[in-house]
C-alpha cells in the first residue's frame, strides 16, 4: 500500500509539469510526439530517416532520453536536426520536469514538430505524461508478436504504432512474426490507433507514417504555415 | 529528493525479503538465476531449450514474471518444466516478496535450479535484488550493439551474458552488430562476466552456456547429487 500511495504522489507531481508543457506546446502551435518502445526497436533510426526525408516539409527537433551516453543525440544531429540529450542516470523513464527544461533549451520557434525519444523501456514511460500531443509506440519484429498482449499499456494509449524492422521478415523468413495477429491484438485495446509496418533501415512502408505525421500536424496546428 | 528517499525505503523493504529468499535457497542447496533483458530478447526461448537439453542432468523450475498473460509459463510447461506465473499488473519488475510466495508454490525439493524470468525491462529489474544466486543478462543482436553502454546497470551486475539471436547475423548480414565491441564494452564494466554468443533458435553456441550452468551448480552447491 505504501508503494502505491507514494507512486500516486510522484505521478501527480509529474502531471502538473506535464500540464504546463502541454500549454506551452499548444500556445506555441507545435506538435510534440512521445516515442516509446523497448531498447533497440529502432526509435533513433526511425527519427533519423524521418528527419532526412521530411526536410523542407516539417522542421523537426528531438529531445533524447537515455540512462547514459550522448550516442542518440549525436545520431540525430548527424541527420541534420537539433537535439537535446537528457541522461536519466539510472531512471527508467523521462519526467515532465526534464522535458520542461529541455523545451527551454531547444529553440522551438524554428521548429514545427518536437519528438521526445523516451528511455528504451516498454513499461514505465507509458505511465508518465510529458505534456505531449500524442504517444507513438514502436515494436520491432525481432521482439516477437506476443508483446502487445504481454505489455499492453503503451499499445492501449498510443495514437500510432510503427512495427519496425520488417526487412528481417522478408525472403529469408528468419524472424517469426505475424503482423496481422499484432494488428488484431492492438486494435482490440485501441480502436483508433494507426499502425504502420515499416523498415526504417530500407525505407519500406515509411510513406504511410509521413502521411500520418503531415495530417497530425495539420489537424493539431491548423494555423501553422509550413517552412 | 522526495522520490529518492521513498525509492530507498522501497528498496530496503525489498532487500529484507531478498535476504530471506537467499537464505531459503542456500539452506535448500538450490541455485537461483535471475534473468534480465529487454522484452523480446529471447529469455523464454533460451529457457525452453535449456530445459529440453539439460533434461536428466539438471532439474529446472521457472518463476515467470510478466505484466499480463500466462503465455510464458505455458511455453515453459510445454518444454517439460514446472512454472509459476506472476502477473505484475503493470509493475515494471518482480519484487522479492513475489518471489518468496512463488518459491513456496514451486515444489523445490524436486529441483536443482530455479530460473526467475524477470519482466522484460533492461532498466528497473536490475535495481531489485530477489535473493538470487546470480543475475544473467540477455541481449539480442537485433537490439543493437550500443545497448551495454546505454543501459549499463545490468551488464555491470550480471555473472553471465547471453548475446542471443546470432542466427540473424549470419550469411545474410541483415543485422549490424559487432559482438567484439559489446564484449569489450561489457568487460570494461565487469571483468568477471562470462559472455556467450548464442542462438536459442538454432542451438548454436548453447554448449558454452550449459557448461557454465553445470559449473555454477557444482561451485554453489558442492554437496548436491545430480538426479
| Residue with the three cell numbers 526536410 | A55
**Interface contact B39-A151, CB threshold 8 A:** yes
pLDDT at A1: 36
Which residues of chain A make contact with B69, given a CB cutoff of 8 A?
146, 149-150
pLDDT, one tens digit for every residue, chain B (227 residues): 344 466 677 788 899 999 999 999 999 999 999 999 999 999 999 999 999 999 999 999 999 999 999 999 999 999 999 999 999 999 999 999 999 999 999 999 999 999 999 999 999 999 999 999 999 999 999 999 999 999 999 999 999 999 999 998 865 556 789 999 999 999 999 999 999 999 999 999 999 999 999 999 999 988 766 55
- For chain B, the distance separating the N- and C-terminal CA atoms, rounded to the nearest angstrom, is 52
By the CB < 8 Å criterion, does B67 face chain A?
yes
| Residue with the three cell numbers 541527420 | A79
pLDDT at A41: 97
Chain B 170-209, residues with CB within 8 Å of chain A CB atoms:
172, 174-175
Domain range annotation of chain B? 2-220
| CB-side neighbour CA atoms (13 Å) of B81 | 34
- The shares of helix, strand and coil residues in chain B, as percent rounded to the nearest 5, are 45, 15, 35
Of B170, B157, B181, nearest to B205 by C-alpha is B170
- Tell me, which fold does domain B2-220 have in CATH? Rossmann fold (3.40.50)
* Interface predicted TM-score (ipTM) of this complex, two decimals: 0.88
By the CB < 8 Å criterion, does A117 face chain B?
no
Which residues of chain B make contact with A153, given a CB cutoff of 8 A?
67, 90
Complete DSSP assignment for B28-72: TT-EEEEEE--TTSSHHHHHHHHHHHTTTT--EEEEEEESS-SHH
Closest chain B C-alpha to A223 CA, distance in angstroms:
39
Is there a contact between A37 and A43 (Cβ–Cβ < 8 Å)?
A: yes
User: What are A4-29's pLDDT values in tens digits?
Assistant: 466 677 788 899 999 999 999 999 99
Burial A86-116 (b: 16+ CB within 10 A, else e): bbbeebbbbbbbbbbebbeebebeebbbbbb
DSSP bridge partners of A192:
none
Is there a contact between B194 and B26 (Cβ–Cβ < 8 Å)?
A: no
Three-state DSSP at A65 gives: strand
By the CB < 8 Å criterion, does A149 face chain B?
yes
**Interface contact B123-A122, CB threshold 8 A:** no
> What is the grid cell recorded at B126?
536490475
**Interface contact B92-A123, CB threshold 8 A:** yes
Q: Give the span between the Cα atoms of B138 and B134, in whole angstroms.
A: 13
Cβ neighbour number for residue B206 with a 10 Å cutoff: 19
Burial of B161 (0-12, 13-18, 19+ CB in 10 A): buried
Of A49, A111, A104, nearest to A82 by C-alpha is A111
Q: CA of B89: which chain A residue's CA is closest? A: A151
**Interface contact B146-A92, CB threshold 8 A:** no
Q: How many CB pairs under 8 A join A and B?
A: 134
Amino acid at each position: 500500500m505504501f508503494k502505491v500511495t507514494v507512486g500516486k504522489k510522484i505521478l501527480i507531481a509529474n502531471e502538473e509539469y506535464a500540464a504546463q508543457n502541454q500549454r506551452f506546446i499548444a500556445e506555441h502551435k507545435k506538435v510534440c510526439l512521445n516515442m516509446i518502445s523497448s531498447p533497440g526497436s529502432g526509435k533513433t533510426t526511425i527519427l533519423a530517416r524521418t528527419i532526412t526525408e521530411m526536410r523542407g516539409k516539417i522542421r523537426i527537433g528531438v529531445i533524447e532520453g537515455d540512462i547514459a551516453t550522448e550516442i542518440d543525440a549525436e545520431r540525430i544531429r548527424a541527420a541534420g536536426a537539433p537535439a537535446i540529450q537528457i541522461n536519466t542516470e539510472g531512471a527508467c523513464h523521462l519526467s515532465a520536469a526534464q522535458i520542461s527544461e529541455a523545451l527551454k533549451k531547444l529553440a522551438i520557434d524554428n521548429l514545427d514538430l518536437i519528438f521526445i525519444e523516451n528511455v528504451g523501456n516498454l513499461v514505465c514511460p507509458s505511465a508518465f505524461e510529458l505534456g505531449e500531443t500524442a504517444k507513438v509506440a514502436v515494436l520491432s519484429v525481432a521482439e516477437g508478436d506476443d508483446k502487445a498482449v504481454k505489455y499492453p499499456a503503451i499499445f492501449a494509449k498510443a495514437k500510432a504504432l510503427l512495427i519496425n524492422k520488417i526487412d528481417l521478415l522478408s525472403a529469408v523468413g528468419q524472424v517469426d512474426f505475424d503482423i496481422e495477429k499484432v494488428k488484431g491484438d492492438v486494435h482490440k485495446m485501441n480502436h483508433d490507433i494507426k499502425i504502420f509496418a515499416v523498415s526504417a533501415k530500407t525505407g519500406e512502408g515509411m510513406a504511410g507514417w509521413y502521411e500520418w505525421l503531415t495530417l497530425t500536424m495539420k489537424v493539431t496546428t491548423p494555423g501553422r504555415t509550413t517552412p
